A = this chain, B = another copy of it.
């Protein structure tokens, strides 16, 4: 790669005296984003007003952004569109997939899926009222549960708690052998690991852009539909911007071509301007470099923390190729421990009931940061009641 991570790091606003290991929850601010958004507001919205939809390319932007993002996850050109939120895109993908498998009633998912995906499926099943079933199985057993009654698998590739990674190509292949479709939630994959949707033969994929992709708080979601399905899939949430001719104002819905039909309502242009700045940085790097570096950083972190903090029990897979770009530890007082670390400038986060998470994001976190964070974590954990022999650690897996 031509751009070094030292160079990309300089493109982010990173608070002094803070080591930010929470890019898996919310990425930091690209320095250019404030100016980019101000420029869009001042010179596009402010000066072009309504004509900005065409003159400034707002109308086409969700597909343009989708193509830039698509390069990072192996999507074919014009098969990924940005918009709405991840939860909304889960619903769209699910509804489309179920309509393509009308004789099957099972949505197969695993207990490691992000709750909102489960909730959206539950809401869909209830409102569809067609006898669908959300079958939740153990994460490590999902492949073997893909039976002939499964319409679609709904799987988050990387577990938000532990970073455990599913084998997308293998599960997709098993799903297809059983006649099922696949939906991949890439919330913790996009910008974190190498994903090749086309090669893995994913049917649908969805994700968000505010975590590893650094689009800003609440920046839009995205949806991918494989080329073989994109002119068949029905969006269910059939809004006017997914219509074949939105400005003809026809009374009947006619689905737009390919991925365009997955658009719904009017997209947030202000939020998209911020995402553009983030993608400018992503345009400079290759995911293979990001992944190599993130594996190296997270391995280093595990080795030091395990040696210095025996009260913390590794929750993530030890093998870097089996986990995403985060490392988690079980610790029963994890909430208090994360608060203590934040007070010392090391920002990770806590997920109930007992998980401490740390994200490794090579665009702006380097080896020096990891070493500095480990020193502080070691200091906090060792000089606390948690290091006393009478403090009994119950690191339970839930």
Contacts and interface: CB of A to CB of B under 8 A. Distances in A.
A217 interface: yes
Given A22-B50, A29-B42, A234-B123, A265 B128 contact: no
A325 interface: no
A334 interface: no
B269 A237 contact: no
Interface residues of A, number: 87
A386 interface: no
Interface in A35-89: 37-38, 41-42, 45-47, 49-53, 58, 84-88
A217 B37 contact: no
Interface in A20-35: 20, 22, 25-26, 28-29, 33-34
Nearest to A29: B46
Given A88-B265, A127-B128, A253 B118 contact: yes
Given A50-B349, A208-B266, A268-B271, A122 B252 contact: yes
Contact of A29 (B45, B119, B136, B208): B45
Interface in A185-215: 208, 210
A91 to B, nearest CB: 6
Interface in A104-161: 111, 114-116, 118-120, 122-124, 126-130, 136
A361 interface: no
Given A116-B265, A265-B86, A268-B220, A41 B49 contact: no
A126 B236 CA distance: 7
A95 B127 contact: yes
A85 B83 CA distance: 10
